[in-house]
Structures are given as structure tokens and as C-alpha cells.
Structure 1
């Protein structure tokens, strides 16, 4: 894991409790038939995350700061506002899922558990030095192997599962369309663009290295490392998502359980079907992935807000030098506790988060692609044509998905 950094953590954070709920519902409702979507979304994720990481490493500035510098200010303000709103809702939903998962394991007050998880996440981000915190996040990605363990513990009809993965099956009806939209919105999430770009800048700062734009002749090894990191990180993300689909398809779907709204519901439904071990591992995985994803959600919002308002920023800075940045992390995390204290339906929260992310994704991906090929921004290190083409295709796919979401 030594050469894997921002890409691995970013990919793992994509499989948050909200994502687990989506993939569980897909597996429960459709069985193995939509496994191929993990292959479809992989190149799209790799392209967009690679462009975002490249922009951060080459320019030494994050996505929001580049938007502010090179595009109308209203565009940056709108993007950051929508990102913060979506992340705020998503953090609340994830904390609620973590509290519910711990309740399933040891009983007790779900709200208190969720609040404690929020406090722990804030304290880790604010008070743990960046080097240790980045290492903590990297090792926390191992929690995702819980879903590999679940698949190994249950009986999977592999011929049927492999057909679902490699032979696309799709019906032109509202159910399949909504499932595909949910998968696209879950896997290609705007907060990941901001986070990975910011983390590449943190790595440059930690190693006291100049932005790559200032040293184009020496940039090749670093860009190669970013490409490998992104390929592995997004591959890990989609592989785990596929295992969640396989686990729920082989257990819930095969036993007639076809409606799951939250990750905790998926875990609870597993107990009578797949046994205590699968239930415990699935539930523990929800908590582990939440501990990884909540800081990424809060951190990406804080980076974006700080870049927009030109505040001192960075997890490598002490609290006294970046008070507003860390204050935004605390506000996004602790404030979101009010979301589930208000008794809002977690499924409804995830829906609106997906809608906001869907509306933001297409124009943001288009802007990132244009930045990545602009010599005025990237100097001699503009993105290759195939990445630009991939970014454009992803923007089109996300725009079509958003229109379909709003139309259905």
C-alpha cells in the first residue's frame, strides 16, 4: 500500500453507508443482473478522478480555487453551495446508518451512537497530525474487505453471478432506469473530485515539493504515480461495490427480500438468511466505511469553502493557523446531527443528496475537463486527449442521468 495515497482513500470513501444502501437495494431488487454496471462506471470514475487529481498536483490549487480563478465567480459559489448542502445531508444519513449499525450489534441509543461517531470524526480530523491521519484513513480502507468476507461466507451461484457481471442485462422500464441513476450518482460523486485534488496538494506540501507545473520536466514519475493510485483506488471501490451486490443478491434476492432502504436494513435482513457471522461482518463494515467516509465528506466541503473564500486550509496545518477550515469541518459534521435528530427519513435524505449531486456532477465534470486541457491553467502538463474525451463522455452520461432522474 506504500505507493497508494489519495486515490485509494477516495475510492474507498465512495463505498460509504449511503453507497452500501444503494448497492444493497440493487442486489436485493435485481439479483445479479446489474453487476455489469460496476464495469461500466469504472472507466468513468478513473477519468474524472484522474483529471481532478492532476489539476490539484499540477496547479497546486484545488477544484474550487481553480473555478474561482478561471470562471465566473457565481459558478464557483453555486458549485460550493450545492456541494456543501449535499455533503451536509449525506453526512447526517451516514452517521444515522452508523448509529443504527452499532445498535444492531450491541443495542442502546442510536442517536447517542451517531453523535459520538460525529465527535470522534471531528476530533480525528482536527487534532491528529496529517501524516498520522492520512495513514489512519489508508488502513481504514481495509474495513471494506468485510463485504468480501460476506460473499465468501454465503453460497453464491457463480455461473449466474458471472453472467450478470459480464453479460449486460437491462430493461427499459422505470425500475431499471432509477437503479442505474442511483448507481451513477453513488459512484461518481462530486465531493470525491474536491477531496482527491486537495489531497494531492496536501501530499506536495507534506513532501515540501513544488506544484508540478513549476517543474514539468520532473513531473512524469508523479503523474504516473497518480494514474496508478487512481486506477487501483477506483478499482477497489467498484470491486467492493460489486461484492455488496453479490452478497445481497445471493441472500436477500434469492429469498424474496427485494426492498431495502438503508444499509442497516440490509444488515438486519441478512441475519435470518445468511447467519450471524454475515450479519455481524456486514454491520461492522457499515461502521468502518462510515468512519472513512464522514471525514472525507466533511473535509471535501471544508476544502471547497476555504478555497472559495481564500482561507488558510489543509489538514497539515495546526488548528490555530486554519480555524475557519477546521470550523467548517466541525460545522458540517456536528451540524448534520440535527438532520437525523429532526426525524427525517434516511431514504428521503439520501434521495435529495443524490438529486443535488446529480445536478452538480455534469457541469462540474465539464468544467474540470476544460481546466485539465487548458495550457493557461496546466502549462505544459495538460491532460491527454483520451482523458479529455473520457471527461466529456462522463459529463454527457451524468447530464442524461440527471434529466432522466428529474423526468421519472
Structure 2
């Protein structure tokens, strides 16, 4: 089972406030009219280790957040890197995935232990209103860049598959994402997870089949694990790959997904909306529910580890499995995308765009592989844009304490992507540049995450081990240095 250095803490879990209640687990609830066996009176059951079936039931939030690592921006960045530089940037994909494991686990841990998302915790600690607004603005720009990549990717996929004009493809992608958000709001996080995981399976098949048909050169693959750059453009692509791999909105979203999935119902600091969270709202705008904007007060402070009904240690064990599976899938698929381009598109003219890459795959591997690639791109756009809209709404709620319905937010954030499609900008270039914007947003999400998860007063005995914090600091320094190098190269014209 995956472990982290945080497991070295062995202090007993603090007692939870309130009267003792019988502990329940998924699938073990009692039903009216049933009597406990042996005629004994029901009482608190002793806490047991989570069995494999229970761990399997708890898996899901990381798989949903992991879709962000397989969005169309990843496809464009990895395809471009493989087509232009072959195996050169394999090490960037691998390193990014290793860092992503740690980052996503810390995000999920924050949501589970505190019962709050990262934006909520930051919103409570940034007392100055202008500081919150400034932080929200950069996070909102990052979320918009994310949405831009996802809608454009879905539009390109529909154009490749059915010849749908890009502007109409963007509208269709946005509409389908609204349907998925309705599923999330009406049917709850578990159903939403099933839908997203189904799309994730389609993505994995669509992007990996070609590697088995035309396998990479093992010597070139291992040579690509040696860290190095070739020129300024390779640095740009490395920043783009990292921006597409370690996505800020995935950091914000994962803490919220874990909170919504595991929070104690009926008043604790988790849940899908203001009422479920026990937050009184004031100043509601009259109108239909999909247009209603509410403001809420801060949720009450909770003791570390008291935000869920299930044992926190069991949830964190399941989360490590969840993150491991999600990152293994995401890392494998991203690597396959780069290898697919390195083997089949290197030196082929016109492969600097998704349309050119599709045509080249059709010519090299046949229409079946090319079609599967386009289907994977479509599933990627549909799944990731829904998760992105969820993250954006959480960012606004946590930092500005304003809750805008997901459907209304989806309509607002759809406009920039549709404008770019309507104006005729190069879709693939827009995708790559959007990932560079994301790479500059990483430190603003990552540095506070590492700092907060190391605090004894916030996470109690579940705080980071010093080595975990050191690894987080090292990842932050690396990403900030790479972004600084990229900025210097761009400003100096090098």
C-alpha cells in the first residue's frame, strides 16, 4: 500500500466532539426493524482497519481530479514536444507526474482533515479583502486559461470526427459540460465520479493504442530520461508540459472533491452547497435557481480530523491508493502521447497542430488509430471542462465568499474560448500558450498548500513530516525557477 512519511506519527486520533454514535461504514448501515445479533444492545463499534472493498469504495476523488492531467492542453503540449524534439522531454513528463503525486495527495489530505478546500482555508486566513481579491484574480485567470484549452480541444475533436465548425464544436462542448455539471449537482459526487471515470477510460484507450501499434525505441526512451534542453523553444515546451501536468485548478479542486465526498452530512464544513455546509446565506438574488448568487459567512472552525464520520487514517490510506492509481493512469497516458508523436510525427511537416497530427497519424497508422485519437481528445475536452468549472466555482466561493451556480459560471467562462474560436486564432497554439499561463499559476497554489499542510494547528497529527515538506519545497523551487528562466528568455529575446 502506498505510504508517505506522514505515517510515522502514531499518536491516537483525537476524540470527536458530540455524543458517541455507532460508527457506520459504506454498505454496513442498519435498517429499520432489524435487531443486532446475539440480542446485544447496539453501541459504538470498535474502529477497524479499512478492508480492500472499503478502500475501493472510497476511491474516486483523485480520479476525477486526475482528468485535469489529461486535458487537451496536455495533448497539444506532449504532441508538440514529441513531434519537434523526439524523446528529449520524456524526463519532464516523468518528473511532472512524480511531483503531481505529492501535490495531489497533500491537497486531498487538506480537504479530508480540515473539511475545507484550499480556497476556503486561504479565504479564512487572508483577512484583508483586497488580498483575497488579488489572489482570486490570478486564480481566476488560471481557471479561464484552463477552460480555454478544454473547450478548444473538444471543438477540434468534433471538427476532426464530424466536420463540425469550431465555433459550433465549442458550443456543443460547453453544452455537454453543463449536462455533466447538472449530474454533479443533482445526483451527487459519486455519480459524477462514475461518469468522469468512464470518460477517463475512453481517454486512456484513445491515446495509448497507437503506442502498441508503433512501439517506441527503448534506447531513445531511456535517453529521454536524462534532464536536458536543446534550445529556448524546448524550455517553453517544458514549462508548457509542467503547466499541463501540475495544474493549479486540480490542486484547488481535489481538496474540494475530497471534502464533498467525505464530509459529515448536516452541518460540518463540507458539502456541495451552502445549505449542506451549514452556512447561512444572505442577500440572495431573486430569480431562477441557476442564476441565484448567494453570500455566506465563514464556517465554524473544526478540530483537525473531525470533519468526517469515517476514521481519518483510513481515509488517508484510501486516498494514497486513489492518488497512486490516478497518477499512474495520467502519467502513462501523457507519456504515450509524447511517444506516439516521437515515433510517428518527428520530422513530418504540418504536425505542429492537432489537425496536422491527426492527418499524420491517419497516414502512418491508419484511420482507426487516428479516429481513436480524436475520440480520446473529445472525451478529454468534455471531462476536463466539467472539472474545471467545478474548480472555478470553488475558487470564487472560497476566496470571495460568493457562490455562483455552476451553470451560470459555465456560461460566463465559455465566452473567451468561443471568442478565440470565432476570431480564427490557431487552436493548437492557443492550447500550448494556455498551458504556459497555467505553469505561472502553479506557485500560487503549491506554496500555500505546502505551508498549510505543514501547520500543526491546522492539521494536528496529520501535518506533513519534515521530509514531506522538504519535498514540497523542492518541487516549488524547481517550478518557480523554470518559470523564471522562461520569462527571462522571452523578455531578452533569447
User: What's the TM-score once normalised by structure 2's chain length?
Assistant: 0.74
The whole-number CA distance in structure 2 between the counterparts of 1:103 and 1:364 is 34
Matched, 1:393 2:451: no
- What is the match of residue 358 of structure 2? 267
Shift of residue 171, structure 1, vs aligned partner: 3.7
Q: Which has the higher helix share?
A: 1
**Pairwise CA distance, 1:25:** 0.7
Distance 1:206 1:218, change over 3 A: closer
Change (3 A) 1:209 1:29: farther
TM-score after normalising by structure 1? 0.88
Judging changes above 3 Å, is the alpha-carbon distance between structure 1 residues 78 and 267 closer, same or farther for their aligned structure 2 residues?
farther
> Does the CA-based 8 Å contact 2:240-2:435 persist in structure 1?
yes
CA shift at 1:210, angstroms?
6.0
1:80 equivalenced with 2:136 (yes/no): yes
Counterpart in the other structure of 1:214: 306
Residue from 200, 205, 208 that aligns with 1:148: 208
Contact 2:73 2:435 in 1 (8 A): no
Determine the C-alpha separation between the residues in 2 that align with 1:209 and 1:46.
31
Answer 1 or 2: higher relative contact order, Cα 8 Å, separation at least 6.
1
From the superposition, tell whether residues 150 and 351 of structure 1 become closer, same or farther in structure 2 (CA, over 3 Å).
closer
Counterpart of 2:68?
13
Correspondence 1:149-228 to 2 at 5 A: 149-153=209-213, 155-164=214-223, 167-168=225-226, 170-171=228-229, 173-205=231-263, 213-214=305-306, 218-228=311-321
Q: Partners in 1 of 2:268 and 2:465 — Cα distance?
A: 22
Alignment of 1:279-358 (within 5 A): 279-311=370-402, 324-333=405-414, 336-358=417-439
Distance in structure 1 (CA, Å) of the matches to 2:350 and 2:104: 32
Q: Classify the secondary structure of the residue corresponding to 2:440.
A: helix
CA 1:259–1:107 in 2, change beyond 3 Å: closer, same or farther? closer
SS at match of 2:155: helix
Determine the C-alpha separation between the residues in 2 that align with 1:3 and 1:250: 39
Please say if 1:23 is aligned against 2:78.
yes
Alpha-carbon RMSD: 2.5
Aligned residues: 394
Kindly state the Cα deviation for residue 20 of structure 1 after the two structures are TM-superposed. Answer: 0.2
Query: Judging changes above 3 Å, is the alpha-carbon distance between structure 1 residues 31 and 351 closer, same or farther for their aligned structure 2 residues?
Result: closer
For residues 372-403 of structure 1, what are the alpha-carbon distances to aligned partners after superposition, in whole Å with 9 as ceiling and x for unaligned? 01122223321222321121111101111111
Q: Deviations over 1:304-334 (max 9, x none)?
A: 101123245xxxxxxxxxx545422332235
SS in structure 1 at match of 2:70: coil
Is 2:58–2:315's contact at 8 Å kept on the other side of the alignment? no
Maintained 8 Å contact 1:8/1:230: yes
Which is greater in Rg?
2
Contact 1:59 1:378 in 2 (8 A): yes
Please give the alpha-carbon distance, in whole angstroms, between the structure 1 residues aligned to 2:385 and 2:162: 22
Gaps of 5+ in 1: 313-322
Between 155-164 and 97-106, report the one with greater CA deviation: 155-164
| Per-residue CA distance 1:327-367 (angstroms, 9 max, x = gap) | 22332235632332233333453355334323321132111
Could you tell me whether the CA contact under 8 Å between 2:93 and 2:242 is conserved in 1? Answer: no
